[in-house]
Amino acid sequence: MLYGLETVSLRKRQESELEVAELKMLRFSLGVTRLDRIRNEYIRGTAHVGRLGDKVREARLRWFGHVQRRESEYIGRRMLDMGLPGRRQRGRPKRRYMDGINEDMKLVGASVEDAEDRDRWREMIRCGDP
């Protein structure tokens, strides 16, 4: 379910839809139905699984740290700083990947410079499974 999500910037609604699907799968695997009225936190605790949003955030930051440690000519690193030429369409700007990364780094209290030290970076971004 998490495959490839480290390269996507999710909106809140998309993240909540993924969490709903994850909880549906957890309920099925534990043999619990919605009619049993068991709280989501209890189901996650029983399955020893953290919140999906936290796991996605950790994977996204882990990938960002990996790319940041590469040389500056690496195409993945150049793509992070790339801007598209021309004018954007009217209306609300689309959510960009770096907007999500900056939000995630602010949430865990990390900075771009912290990504250079792999062990420290892994320790800072750890928030997935309990």
Rounded to two decimals, the pTM is 0.82
The per-residue pLDDT of the chain, averaged, comes to: 89
Please indicate, yes or no, if residue 88 is contained in any of the structural domains: no
Q: Same domain, yes or no, for 41 and 68?
A: no
pLDDT exceeds 80 at position 128: no
Query: Among residues 121, 117, 97, 100, which one has the least CA distance to residue 109?
Result: 121
For 78-88, how does the pLDDT look when each residue is reduced to its tens digit (9 = 90+)? 888 787 788 88
Domain residues for the domain of 39 are: 10-49
Please indicate, yes or no, if residue 109 is contained in any of the structural domains: yes
Please indicate, yes or no, if residue 118 is contained in any of the structural domains: yes
Q: Same domain, yes or no, for 60 and 16?
A: no
